[in-house]
C-alpha cells in the first residue's frame, strides 16, 4: 500500500510539472514581473498588482497597467517578447481610456479617470508629455467606465496574455503550440 501511494504521488508530481507551464494548446513563453518595482515604495504593498491589459490595433504591442493609487504603464512587444518601455503616471488610469496613434508611435493615456488631460507617450523616443484633450486625435470624449481585462488573446489567437492567478503582480504570455 505504501509503494502504491509513493508511486501515485510521484506520477502526480511529474504530471503536474508537465502541465504547469501550459494553458490548453498554449505554452508559457514569457513571464514578467512589474518593471521598476524594486525602486518604489510599492515593493512590499500587496495591493500593487497588474490591473489591466490591452492590445494595440495591430496586435503587436501589449499594454499592462500596474499600480495602486498611481499607475505604471508597461509596453511589451509581442514580436520580441520584451518590454520596450515603462512609464509612471501619478494618478489612477484605465486602459479602456487609452489609445495608440495610427502608426502606433504615440500612446495617449488619460491622466485621471475624469481628467481632460492626457499623457502622450512617444514610444520610440521614450518620452512623455502632457496635453489637453482637444490636442489629441480623438478630442475630448466623455470618460466611460471600462472593465479591467486581465486575460486576452491576440486577434490571430497566436498569443494569450494573462495575469498570474497565484501572484497578481506577474504577467504571463503564452504562445499557441504548433503541431
String of DSSP letters for 4-39: HHHHHHHHHHHHHHHHHTEETTEEEEEEEPPTTGGG
pTM value surpassing 0.85:
no
The answer, yes or no, to whether residue 26 has pLDDT greater than 60, is yes
| Average pLDDT of the segment spanning 57-71 | 90
Confidence of residue 14 (pLDDT cuts 50, 70, 90): very low
Which pLDDT score is estimated for 19?
40
Confidence of residue 92 (pLDDT cuts 50, 70, 90): confident
Of 55-64, 94-103, 106-115, 150-159, the least confident:
106-115
| Average pLDDT of the segment spanning 135-155 | 88
Q: Enter the C-alpha cell of residue 88.
A: 509612471
Confidence of residue 53 (pLDDT cuts 50, 70, 90): very high
The full set of domains in the chain, from first to last, is 24-176 (2.40.128)
Nearest CA among 163, 158, 164, 162 for reference residue 177 = 158
Residues 71, 47 contacting (CB under 8 angstroms): no
Residues 158, 26 contacting (CB under 8 angstroms): no
Q: Taking phi first (over 0 means left), then psi (-120 to 50 degrees means alpha), and beta for anything else, what does residue 3 get?
A: alpha
What is the Cα–Cα distance from 123 to 54, expressed in whole angstroms? 16
| Average pLDDT of the segment spanning 137-144 | 85
Rounded to the nearest integer, the mean pLDDT of the chain is: 83
Residues 72, 86 contacting (CB under 8 angstroms): yes
Amino acid at each position: 500500500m505504501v509503494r502504491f501511494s509513493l508511486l501515485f504521488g510521484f506520477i502526480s508530481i511529474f504530471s503536474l510539472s508537465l502541465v504547469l507551464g501550459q494553458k490548453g494548446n498554449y505554452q508559457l513563453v514569457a513571464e514578467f514581473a512589474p518593471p521598476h518595482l524594486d525602486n518604489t515604495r510599492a515593493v512590499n504593498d500587496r495591493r500593487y498588482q497588474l490591473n489591466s491589459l490591452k492590445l494595440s490595433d495591430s496586435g503587436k504591442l501589449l499594454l499592462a497597467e500596474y499600480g495602486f493609487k498611481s499607475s505604471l504603464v508597461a509596453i511589451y512587444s509581442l514580436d520580441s517578447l520584451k518590454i520596450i518601455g515603462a512609464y509612471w503616471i501619478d494618478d489612477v488610469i484605465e486602459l479602456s481610456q487609452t489609445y495608440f496613434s495610427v502608426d502606433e508611435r504615440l500612446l495617449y493615456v488619460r491622466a485621471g479617470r475624469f481628467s481632460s488631460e492626457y499623457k502622450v507617450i512617444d514610444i520610440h523616443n521614450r518620452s512623455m508629455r502632457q496635453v489637453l484633450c482637444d490636442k489629441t486625435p480623438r478630442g475630448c470624449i466623455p470618460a466611460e467606465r471600462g472593465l479591467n481585462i486581465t486575460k486576452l488573446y491576440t486577434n490571430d489567437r497566436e498569443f494569450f496574455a494573462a495575469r498570474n492567478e497565484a501572484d497578481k503582480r506577474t504577467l504571463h504570455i503564452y504562445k499557441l503550440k504548433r503541431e
